[in-house]
Amino acid sequence: MKQGGELALKILLDEMYTGLKEYLQTLGWDVLTVEDVGLKSAKDEQIAEYAARNSLLLVTADERNADLAKLQGVPCVLVSKMMLTKIIDAELKKIPQLKKG
């Protein structure tokens, strides 16, 4: 599938992010969760293999799952603690009355 010359991938949300499905859909993304596809509590290998077989992009906070997905050529977004820390830091800096330390 292509939209505007870009490849349109469905997104597969790992268990920790199933609650984001509706939010991402509201923004126009085509989203499935591991629960939707019958992989709740599945092993990381099973999730990565499913994503590979079905041309899905995996969103996870699990580094092992992200590594397994990448080894299989699955596009992946790893939501790391460092990424979240940078987002929180940027939001905190927008609040004028807050100072570090």
Residue 101 lies in a domain: no
Determine if the pTM surpasses 0.85. no
- Domain total of the chain: 1
CB neighbour class for 10 (10 Å; exposed up to 12, middle 13-18, buried from 19) = middle
- 32-77 tens-digit pLDDT: 999 999 999 999 999 999 999 999 999 999 999 999 999 999 999 9
Beta pairing, strands 2-3 & 6-7: antiparallel
Residue 44 lies in a domain: yes
CATH number at residue 19: 3.40.50
Q: Which amino acid is at 41?
A: S
Query: How far apart, in Å, do the first and last CA atoms of the chain sit?
Result: 50
Residue 98 lies in a domain: no
Residue 99 lies in a domain: no
Residue 100 lies in a domain: no
- Token pair for 70: 């990448």
* pLDDT number for residue 2: 39
Range of the domain at 19: 2-93
